[in-house]
Amino acid sequence: MKKLYFLLPFVFFACKSGTSTGNEKDTQSNEKPLEISYKVKESEVSDFLKYLSSDELEGRETGTKGIEKAAVFLEDYLKKNHIKPYFKTYRDTLTNFKSPAYNIVGVIEGTDSELKKEYVVLSAHYDHIGLEKKQQADMINNGANDDASGVTAVAQIAKYFSETKSNKRSILIVFFAGEEKGLLGSKSLVEKLKKQDFNIYTQLNIEMIGVPMKRDFLSYVTGFDKSNMAQKINEYTGKNTIGFLPKEAEYKLFYRSDNYSFYEAFKKPCQSISTFDFENFDFYHHVSDEFKLMDITHITAFTQEFLPAVTQITNSKTQEITMNN
């Protein structure tokens, strides 16, 4: 997540408070959910996340050798799972960064002759903040939660669609670089997509899902009141998958991740989904944001719960997720 300079004191002290905010909104739907037989495997979630947040990648700062290794890893993953590059290659060069840096972009074409012209964007940023500047015992900001966890979920969802071919709309899979530098990867990409008259329906950007919340909903969406995304996702899953988190609105997180670049360019429902609630994780932008603190069972369950929602989003006859007035 792009650095929240004004927020850091709250990240470390909010865990002292209770687990309920008192005014969280209930968005449970009684609609029958879509049943998904496909199972996300904990072992694959673990292996993927463990490497992406390993010391070998040295914190994945944009423009470094560490993020280059991460880029190769993500390219190989997409190729292995038969997901085609959206451009000539998987690498989308950032136009706004001083040294070579790349978003990794794949596409899963929709199966419907008309709906495939519309795109659902599934994304997460794979960069982090790299090495500490001052000498200390642990120099590496591994970024397991921020945002190797989100990349892991997107990768597993992409694999599901590649194997099942269950998407009528096309899906753009994006792993952003430069998020921690000021949303540079997403800003660069949307400029190119706008020139192509890219037909986006909606974007689900996954940000910091490494540990669960102690709430009566699984996750929250940034910019809750900007669209009906939360309500529709809950309808699609039949669960309290998305809830309202007042802290998200207070700190305006909608504007602080890569969803905002897409929203600003396309004015469509482009939002981030997270389980970082200012109470459940003390190591935001810290060397202790490591794999060993990640809840693999939670990440696997999170990914599994989103499969019916994303499937419905890609298959609905009309664009049911809409901006609020």
pLDDT one-digit tens code per residue, 275-291: 999 999 999 999 999 99
Distance CA 22, CA 55 (A): 40
CA dihedral 77, 113, 265, 102 (to 10 degrees): 20
Check pLDDT > 50 for residue 9: no
Distance CA 81, CA 141 (A): 29
CA dihedral 163, 194, 103, 169 (to 10 degrees): -10
Q: How far is CA 190 from the centre of its chain?
A: 16
CA dihedral 241, 252, 185, 269 (to 10 degrees): 50
Q: Is the peptide bond before 147 cis (omega within 30 degrees of 0)?
A: yes
The tokens 């609630």 sit on which residue? 277
Check pLDDT > 70 for residue 30: no
CATH number of the domain that 266 lies in? 3.40.630.10
**Any domain includes 28:** no
Mean pLDDT score across all residues of the chain: 92
**Any domain includes 99:** yes
* Total structural domains within the chain: 1
pLDDT of residue 22: 36
**Any domain includes 35:** no
What does the pLDDT look like over 244-278, one tens digit per residue? 999 999 999 999 999 999 999 999 999 999 999 99
pLDDT of residue 160: 98
Instruction: Label the pairing between strands 200-206 and 119-125.
Output: parallel
Which residues constitute the domain of residue 233? 42-315
Distance CA 165, CA 159 (A): 10
Check pLDDT > 90 for residue 60: yes
How crowded is residue 29: how many other Cβ atoms within 10 Å of its Cβ?
17
**Any domain includes 202:** yes
CA dihedral 91, 94, 100, 101 (to 10 degrees): -60
What does the pLDDT look like over 226-241, one tens digit per residue? 999 999 999 999 999 9
pLDDT of residue 70: 98
How does residue 32 score in pLDDT terms, banded at 50, 70 and 90? confident
**Any domain includes 86:** yes
**Any domain includes 145:** yes
Distance CA 234, CA 218 (A): 10
Smallest Cα–Cα separation from 64: which of 214, 177, 148? 177
**Any domain includes 31:** no
**Any domain includes 323:** no
